[in-house]
Amino acid sequence: MLHKMGIRSSHMYTAGLASIGVSVASWVMSRNLEKASLARADRWGIFVGQWAPTFIGLGVALRIEETHMEVDEEAKTEVFDRASGGVRPRTHAGT
């Protein structure tokens, strides 16, 4: 569904890396700007830090989807011709 919406694996990898940076930034900001305890800053950092594995996991899933789509497209258009040792265009779906 994400792939159909135009979201690619690189978008998810970027979001995962960005969430790591946002996690550190939220921890530092909470620690320095709020009058609350260090535990609260830790909770903010951990909360945002948990997003990274989710984004990276979605990126892996999308990458698999992209890879399988490329293989499916190649299988529809080309077939390996063992006699000539090369690739030739398919004439119809049965070959």
- Give the integer Cα–Cα distance in Å for 54 and 15: 10
What is the domain count for the chain? 1
Q: Is residue 79 part of a domain?
A: yes
Mean pLDDT of 67-84: 61
Number of H helices, E strands in the chain: 3, 2
The band of 32, judged by pLDDT with boundaries at 50, 70 and 90, is confident
- Do residues 67 and 76 make contact, with C-beta atoms less than 8 angstroms apart? no
Q: Is residue 61 part of a domain?
A: yes
Q: Is residue 3 part of a domain?
A: no
Q: Is residue 2 part of a domain?
A: no
Q: Is residue 30 part of a domain?
A: yes
Q: What is the pLDDT of residue 56?
A: 95
Q: Is residue 67 part of a domain?
A: yes
Residue 88, strand partner residues: 79
Q: Is residue 95 part of a domain?
A: no
pTM to 2 decimals? 0.62
Q: What is the pLDDT of residue 88?
A: 58
Instruction: Find the domain containing 58 and state its range.
Output: 9-89
Q: Is residue 44 part of a domain?
A: yes
The band of 78, judged by pLDDT with boundaries at 50, 70 and 90, is low
